[in-house]
Amino acid sequence: MADMPEVLVAEEDFNRLTTLIEKQEDSEVADGLDDELSRATLVPLAEMPAHVVTMNSRVRFQNEDSGQEQELTLVYPHEVGSGEGKISILAPAGSALLGLAVGDSIEWPIRGRNNIHLKIIEVTREG
């Protein structure tokens, strides 16, 4: 993979996500998320810069391969519901977004398909 951007993760998110990953069985996405968390710099949520993607952030990003922009809220799997406007942290693109900042790009592998290339355009923290 290309050079990976720095990843900042809220300590509170890290703790919940570590527990979530431990409950997954043989999940390539969970393994990828675990790899991202292992290289993350942990920061208390109250000190997290506003332009960094955390859980429950609304993220506008561009698929650099297609040029298509999307705006989704990054949520835990049980919060997806109808899925409209939300993306699970256990979806490949969801795992890729966590901890990135506005302007960051990342190349993320998807099994059986070409890698996706995502660029963060805007982050809005919920609440």
Q: What is the pLDDT of residues 65-81, one digit of tens each?
A: 899 998 999 999 999 98
The span from the first CA to the last CA of the chain, in angstroms, equals 34
What's the pTM?
0.86
* % of residues, the chain, pLDDT over 70: 93
Largest CA distance in the chain: 39
- Among the listed residues 43, 48, 24, 49, the one whose alpha carbon sits nearest the alpha carbon of residue 34: 24
Instruction: Tally Cβ neighbours within 10 Å of residue 124.
Output: 12
- The angle formed by the CA atoms of residues 9, 11 and 85, to the nearest 5 degrees, is 55
Please list, in sequence order, all residues whose beta carbon lies within 8 angstroms of the beta carbon of residue 87, skipping any fewer than 6 positions away.
Answer: 72, 73, 74, 75, 80, 93, 94, 97
**Across residues 53-67, what is the average pLDDT?**
93
